[in-house]
Structure 1
Amino acid sequence: MIQYPEVAEIDGVEFRINTDYRVALQCMAISENAAISDLERSTAICILLFGMDVPVTQSAVDMAQKYLQCGKTTEEQLASNKDMDFEQDADFITASFMSDYHVDLSKAEMHWWQFVQLISGLTEHSILSKVRDIRNYNVHDLPDEKSKQRMRRAQQQVALKKKLSPDEQQALDEFEALFL
């Protein structure tokens, strides 16, 4: 049986990890939030994972990162193709867990690492797998222009949206306001 981590040792002190996958998803959203400083992100993530008593040191931040990456190194994470986003694909993930595993994620309690492993194990018939396949499909492998155009449209429909920094969002809002 797979043993998932429940405790993290930080600077010689053991801290219980809040292993609920929803907490890890909150941490992932915080890590991508450009509206707050690195210190605020680090503090929020460490407190969510390890509790209020954790000292927010580099060791704690490193341990949080290691936990959220399921023990993989940053290089291993960067090498994998970004073909899904937990936030943008939430509906696809929920539907896929229901269809493949008969698990209602709104009610399920699950360790973060198990959640990630189950995503990796989704069948090719799950909606998330199909969406990821479309995102990764090389249109040049298709035989004719009509098929290529159809695949490009499908890829546009399921493409991951670029997340804007606060400055980029403000510039976009100001630009759009010119047309109102």
Structure 2
Amino acid sequence: MNILMDELPYTVTIAGHTVPINTDYRTGIYFEQCLADETLDDDEKLNEILLLYFGEGIGPLITDWETVTEAINAVMWFYRCGADESVLAASESTNSGKDPPFSYEYDGGYIYSAFVEAYHIDLTEKRLHWWQFRALFLALPEDVEFSKIIGYRTMEIPAKMSKEKKRFYQRMKKIHKLPDPPDRVRLEKDLEAILAKGGDISQLIK
């Protein structure tokens, strides 16, 4: 899908039914946090994801594992902003199109200030659609502090750089190092593995 040509989605199809999906950008962040939460078992993660995006109203549609898989796949399609999986796979194989090292939780203040500075959007007041948020997030200009921090984290310090500059960039890397860098590709693969394994739907939507 093309955000310039197509209408933003507010529903998905599950078991032949058109189902409203929670589009708020915060839901996408909660989704990532849920996947990374090691205190939740597989059923708890699936249950939390379904409730996050569809609420308890999805319960009557969850009649078998095939429906669970269809619902979670709809979530993944939405989370990926409608990107085709083959395109994503090609991007991953060339190391392009991947998110840089950041954490919505750890970098929350920097991301908030970046949106205010670049777009005059107060994320505490604005209810952006996830696809809008992601498009703006990926296009943040280089001169905002958050983009500079990403640059510090990802840059390779050349051997020929002056000692003074080396010390500066090494210090910046240390200051802005993520305590536990999220691997979003791995988290998605973990979710796919949970679906492939199957489970007891009686444990879902409780």
1:57 is displaced (CA, Å) by: 0.5
Q: Structure 1 residue 45 and structure 2 residue 56: aligned?
A: no
Q: 2:105 matched to 1:101?
A: no
Which residue in the other structure is 1:125 paired with?
143
- Cα shift readout 1:74-114 (whole Å, capped 9, x = no counterpart): 63468415421111111011000000111111100110110
Alpha-carbon displacement from aligned partner over 1:6-51 (angstroms, at most 9, x marks no partner): 1111121111011011122111211111110122111111111122
Q: Secondary structure at the match of 1:117?
A: helix
- Please list the CA deviations of residues 133-165 of structure 1 after superposition, one character each: whole Å capped at 9, or x if unmatched: 11111112652233223211101111121169x
- Structure-1-length-normalised TM-score: 0.82
Aligned equivalent of 2:153? 135
Question: Take 1:126 and 1:40, find their aligned partners in 2: how far apart are those partners?
Answer: 38
Is 1:70 aligned to residue 81 of structure 2? yes
Structure 2 unmatched ranges of 5 or more: 183-206
Q: Secondary structure at the match of 1:49?
A: helix
Q: Distance in 1 between matches of 2:105 and 2:69?
A: 27
Higher relative contact order (CA 8 A, sep 6+): 2
Separation (CA, whole Å) in 2 of partners of 1:29 and 1:132 = 20
Equivalent pairs, count: 164
Quick one: structure 1 residues 163 and 119, their matched pair in 2 at CA, closer, same or farther if it must change by over 3 Å? closer
Distance 1:77 1:94, change over 3 A: farther
SS at match of 1:53: helix
1:104 match: secondary structure: coil
Q: Give the match's secondary structure for 1:8.
A: strand
**Percent of aligned pairs with the same residue?**
24
Higher mean C-alpha deviation, range 137-146 or range 76-85? 76-85
**Is 1:147 paired with 2:165?**
yes
Equivalent residue, structure 1, for 2:191 = none
Which residue does the alignment assign to 2:107? 89
- Structure 2 length-normalised TM: 0.72
Q: Determine which of 27, 38, 42 is the counterpart of 2:31.
A: 27
> Are residues 37 and 82 of structure 1, via their aligned partners in 2, closer, same or farther at CA, if it must alter by over 3 Å?
farther
Any unmatched runs of 5+ in structure 1?
165-180
- How far apart are residue 71 of structure 1 and its match? 2.3
8 Å CA contact 1:142, 1:148 repeated in 2: no
CA change 1:19–1:81 in 2 (3 A) is closer
1:119 is displaced (CA, Å) by: 0.6
SS at match of 1:15: strand
Aligned to 2:194: none
Counterpart residue identity of residue 151, structure 1 = Y
* 1:7/1:15 contact within 8 Å kept: yes
Looking at structure 1, the residues matched to 100 and 43 of structure 2 have their Cα atoms a distance apart, in angstroms, of 25
